[in-house]
Structure 1
Amino acid sequence: MDDEMTLRIANCSGFYGDRLSAAREMVEGGPIDVLTGDWLAELTMLILAGNRLKGRPGYAPTFLRQLEDVLGPCLDKGIKIVTNAGGLDPAGCAQAVHELAGRLGLSPAVAHVTGDDLTGRALDLVNADTGERLDATPLTANAYLGARPIAAALSAGADVVVTGRVTDAALVTGPGIWRYGWGPEDLDPLAGSVVAGHVIECGCQATGGNYAFFQDVPDLAHCGFPIAELRADGSAVITKHPGTGGLVSVGTVTAQLVYELGGPRYLGPDVVARFDTITLADDGPDRVLVSGVRGEPPPGTLKVAVNYLGGYRNTMTLVLTGLDIEAKARVAEEAVWARIPRDAFDSVDVTLTESGLLRITVMDADQRTAGRAFSSAVVETGLASYPGFYGLTPPGNASPYGVYWPVLVPAADVRPQVFLNGKELPPTEPTPTRPAPDAPTARPILDTLAAQPTPDTPDRSVASTSTGTPVAGTSTDRPAVRVPLGRIAGARSGDKGGNANLGVWTTTAARYDWLAAHLTTATLKELLPDLAGHRIDRYELPSIKALNFVVHGLLGRGVAASPRLDPQAKALGEELRARLVDLPADLYD
């Protein structure tokens, strides 16, 4: 493909704390046109709020450390820099960029985007996932803005664009609009860019990081960050710089496509991207072509990430070894609750892991109750409990925790502002949206949108909740072998607020047919009994040979408030892959 026909967008950060050398590696490793970085996980907004309360910056200072290495080279090479590292204070971050540039003897045009901060506004605090209403005061409230403010900043001549809360994919879609001039009616190109943005937003997870088949990935220790070669039609080649570690394959791209995914209709402020229309194809070594993505008009609402202070929490972890593990766990609990009543706390979670760790987490509005009163009660049992008693956590005070609470607002009520070198640019035109149906709560809006098929695209998005009875491809007269599911299927899992997402994919049409028939929600609950009490939505993505499950409420009230040892459900996919299934022998290699 002619370089003039592609926009090479490189990622250098997938989260707040990612590899500091990545920006320099991407700028020096080969030609790129745009350098992007994602700092804002849902948890990060809460971390930045805590920093701000302590008098620290409300943006990600690690961005400035990376920028110091590359600002000069980027200006020399004409590389644009687009980042959401502005967090809760994009104006402050932009000012810090100016100050850094001054120390380096440089004069970049720096833009920043505001308008996402809705803190203090009167919001309808109905949870978009559960329909519950929040009666607490928000600590932060930030709408997920779209890509057009970024495009406007680039069109006005910005060298560096700093945003607050935008969708992760907007960091790719914005440059795409700037380069190719896509209007709101160019739904398919916009949708393609959203998919490309979703693939590269998490850095090395697209190039072999956290990959189910990690043994196929060369030199993972020096994994290269991803690049999306975005084309005018919205298709993109996912690749990485030559000579870097890692792997770009249909498998690694599929793994990232199903990460933190809900249904096949991926709602955003610029477009609804149809993930069930994606086509993946090898395009050479470490190159995968992503094409065919269909788009629909965006909904008339924007998601708002609300965080509030939930109270205080404390966890004590005891180790159980030898014989009679479950009986020892009962004795340990009885000893603790004899010293402090279980009902003294707002909530209690007790988990016994397969490796013999007994984790007791308490949460309460009172810091003293959840603090020393609890941890001291556990320590007091040390010589009057089960044999082999020892713990992994010393007694300590409780720590405050926050809760993520997603709500919806009318898109028309949120007006982004773009500033270039401190001067406000003319406002961008609002994106035409699909009218939202009347609904008493937020959730029916999402459900209704997710239920509307595109006329010429078959809708296999939601599968019925099967009882797990034998179906096509699983008949008893077909020779079978009992093997871990992970021998023929990959998986990746993550968090979506209080819900967990679990994506599972395989490599051939025959294997996918078996997987889609066999892995029902009922079977999933049999394989992972911890999920039995949760509502699970199941979605089919046959174009990429994948299934996606959304496990509602598994993470409680979100990552910061989750009592799970794995609060972001990162390991859920690997737990599933280790479970034994009866696989038709002809599908096993």
Structure 2
Amino acid sequence: MSDDIQHDSRSVFIGSGSGFWGDSALAVPQLLTAPRLDYIVFDYLAETTMSVLQRARLKDPELGYATDFVTGAVKPNLKILMERGIRLVSNAGGLNPAKCRDALLAVAAEQGLAPRIAIVTGDDVLALADRFEMPDGQPAAAATAPLMSANAYLGAQPIAQALSEGADIVVTGRCVDSASLLGIAMHEFGWAPHDYNRLAQGSLAGHLVECGAQATGGLFTDWETVPDWADIGYPIVELQADGTFALGKPAGTGGRVDRATVAEQLLYEIGDPAAYALPDVVCDFTQVRIEDAGTDRVRVFGARGRAPSDHYKVTTTYPRGFQIAIMMAIRGQRAKAKAQRTAQELLKRTRAQMARAGFADYSGTLVELLGAESMYGAHARVEESREIVLRIAVQHRDRKALAFLQKESASAGTSMGPGTRSHFGGRADIQAVIGTASHFIAKEHVMVCLQSAPDAPMQYMPAPERGIATEPLSTDPVGTASAALDVDTVPVTLSRIAHGRSGDKGDDANIGVIARKQELVPVLERYLTEQRVRDYFSHLVDGPVTRFALPGLGAFNFLLERALGGGGSCSLRSDPLGKCYAQMLLDLEIPCPRDLLPQTDRLHNQGDTA
């Protein structure tokens, strides 16, 4: 650590203004009520969002970026942002950073303002497809369909450079979600590319706030204890030069910030917590500690880092046909049986029509009875219901083939079961299915560019120094829990002794489980095994389940491979993102020693909250 960093006692305040494309417009005005704010970061690019942007760009080459950033976040607030000197960093550029900048400059000119806007490009690596590699270093197989896009996940260094050159707003294309905040930290504190522990802490801060209000009580297991969702506070990080930080929210807002809410978000969308790989650093979150530091405020420390690999991750998109999902409400006696038959008859009818017209069968079908717990498989508890929403989702290579179900579904309201309301607001749309695949590319092949103004020359950023190979995955050692845990046990639902949060990465899902108090960690270790989780989700998961330990949080992370029916826009499921998986798992019963049980119901047991 340099002397300058050692003696830098400043704090930098960074707010999170968006967790995804479509997030609330509440965030920026709310953050502006904070007495101290230096930056706001905005994340718009979920993997499914890239598919949406690709569709938009195909229709109009002027699009392909997150328009909400321009119209919802910047336009109404730009004057006060510039008056206060608050700088913005966003990946809203998507597939078209230059057009995003043009739109920003246009709305600024309307207000007589002239912010300095830099763009970071180079993530588009479609022309380098012949250099893509698999995780084992072997060349990637040729794509089965023409690629529509290919984007590398860039890091934080170009963002830091843009800020150092005076940008008021930095717009990037595809970069890792946490890079926006890490780039700010590298600029403000002069962190070097080899300051791995600080880079890991900065990346952790970025990871925690990249999904907006999910760090401040959104999606929290004990949702009943989170006040005022209508005005939920968006997170603000107070970052210091050594990488430690506090996380809070604007005073007087809703939501909840404490050890439990923030720990849940740390586990969101991660795999091996000892090898969270980013372009700038490989993070180890296993010893991270989160401490309550006052009302709606926590202190976070303990992330460690090591050198990154010399490759970027690349996500490609390609056409995979079309799909449609129709929904209808069915009510009355034996609604579940009526819904099942309705689906069977509609599929039978449309298959016959398709065959007569010369089309092949559907390439995929899925029937879900929402309200009958169809997602739960053998764990469903609803035997019958008087109200069901029937959802039929199908895929086909030819858009025209799906027009039969699109049209015929309405007839269920007159020719099938009583109590059927066959449409919600008109015919369902036929959507293009855009598949995604992940590859890797050597950093030396990727030309990362920074342009500080529309008329400025492109600056080519040198490839980062070659990193060292990362260590193998650090799986959780099993079998260390004491056999004494088997004495005087009672079955309890997992929610009584743990919190949980789940997320997605492509076709994989993760479920983070956090003990409500430290004494319960051995119970989770002994009874919440990989096999138990795999068996519980056997109707949804096609791949293995791996468990990882996070001793610093008293938590375990489960990685479920091939768990989402293809994931994202490829999946026919109503939850292609695994959002409900933690909630499902929390209904699982496991043994727990009687003397370790919480003394009161979880809603009143905040003292035990982990």
Whole-Å separation in 1 of the counterparts to 2:398 and 2:208: 42
Whole-Å separation in 2 of the counterparts to 1:132 and 1:430: 25
Q: Does 1:416 align with 2:448?
A: yes
CA contact (8 A) 1:123 1:409 kept: no
Cα pair distance change 1:473/1:57, threshold 3 Å: farther
Secondary structure class of the residue paired with 1:191: helix
Q: Does 1:345 align with 2:355?
A: no
Q: Which residue of 1 aligns with 2:472?
A: 451
Match of 2:460 among 419, 422, 427: 427
Q: Does 1:194 align with 2:203?
A: yes
Q: Which residue of 1 aligns with 2:543?
A: 534
Q: Which residue of 1 aligns with 2:488?
A: 478
Secondary structure class of the residue paired with 2:18: coil
Q: How does 1:206-221 map to 2 (within 5 A)?
A: 206-221=215-230
Q: What TM-score results when the alignment is normalised by the length of structure 1?
A: 0.88
Whole-Å separation in 2 of the counterparts to 1:330 and 1:16: 35
**Structure 2 counterpart of 1:186, one-letter code:** D
Whole-Å separation in 2 of the counterparts to 1:537 and 1:284: 36
Q: What TM-score results when the alignment is normalised by the length of structure 2?
A: 0.85
Please report how far the alpha carbon of residue 214 of structure 1 lies from its aligned counterpart in structure 2 after TM superposition: 1.6
Please report how far the alpha carbon of residue 477 of structure 1 lies from its aligned counterpart in structure 2 after TM superposition: 2.8
Whole-Å separation in 2 of the counterparts to 1:330 and 1:99: 53
Q: Which residue of 1 aligns with 2:291?
A: 281
Whole-Å separation in 1 of the counterparts to 2:538 and 2:510: 16
Q: Deviations over 1:317-370 (max 9, x none)?
A: 46666777776666445534543449712222334453455533221111122x
Unaligned runs of 5+ in 1: 437-448, 453-458
Please report how far the alpha carbon of residue 17 of structure 1 lies from its aligned counterpart in structure 2 after TM superposition: 1.2
Match of 2:305 among 295, 307, 318: 295
Q: Does 1:24 align with 2:29?
A: yes
CA contact (8 A) 2:287 2:552 kept: yes
Q: Does 1:97 align with 2:118?
A: no
Secondary structure class of the residue paired with 2:546: strand
Q: Which residue of 1 aligns with 2:126?
A: 119
CA contact (8 A) 1:302 1:411 kept: yes
Whole-Å separation in 2 of the counterparts to 1:368 and 1:340: 12
Quote the RMSD (CA, aligned, Å): 2.9
Whole-Å separation in 2 of the counterparts to 1:77 and 1:10: 14
Q: How does 1:456-535 map to 2 (within 5 A)?
A: 459=474, 461-463=475-477, 472=482, 475-480=485-490, 482-531=491-540, 533-535=542-544
Cα pair distance change 1:24/1:317, threshold 3 Å: closer
Please report how far the alpha carbon of residue 391 of structure 1 lies from its aligned counterpart in structure 2 after TM superposition: 4.3
CA contact (8 A) 1:555 1:568 kept: yes
Tell me the number of residue pairs that the alignment of Structure 1 and Structure 2 aligns: 564
Cα pair distance change 1:128/1:223, threshold 3 Å: farther
Q: Does 1:372 align with 2:403?
A: yes
**Structure 2 counterpart of 1:374, one-letter code:** L
Secondary structure class of the residue paired with 2:460: coil
Cα pair distance change 1:182/1:493, threshold 3 Å: same
Whole-Å separation in 1 of the counterparts to 2:46 and 2:318: 16
Whole-Å separation in 2 of the counterparts to 1:338 and 1:16: 38
CA contact (8 A) 1:10 1:227 kept: yes
CA contact (8 A) 1:404 1:557 kept: no
Cα pair distance change 1:536/1:109, threshold 3 Å: same
Q: Which residue of 2 aligns with 1:107?
A: 114
Q: Which residue of 1 aligns with 2:40?
A: 35
Cα pair distance change 1:389/1:101, threshold 3 Å: closer
**Structure 2 counterpart of 1:537, one-letter code:** T
Q: Does 1:45 align with 2:50?
A: yes
CA contact (8 A) 1:27 1:70 kept: no
Secondary structure class of the residue paired with 1:24: helix
**Structure 2 counterpart of 1:163, one-letter code:** T
Whole-Å separation in 2 of the counterparts to 1:157 and 1:388: 64
CA contact (8 A) 2:411 2:422 kept: no
Secondary structure class of the residue paired with 1:95: helix
Match of 1:62 among 48, 65, 68: 68
Cα pair distance change 1:368/1:269, threshold 3 Å: same
Q: How does 1:194-343 map to 2 (within 5 A)?
A: 194-264=203-273, 265-317=275-327, 331-332=341-342, 334-341=344-351
Q: Which residue of 1 aligns with 2:94?
A: 87
Which is worse superposed, 333-342 or 487-496? 333-342
Please report how far the alpha carbon of residue 397 of structure 1 lies from its aligned counterpart in structure 2 after TM superposition: 5.6
Cα pair distance change 1:125/1:396, threshold 3 Å: farther
Q: Which residue of 2 aligns with 1:455?
A: none
Secondary structure class of the residue paired with 1:52: helix
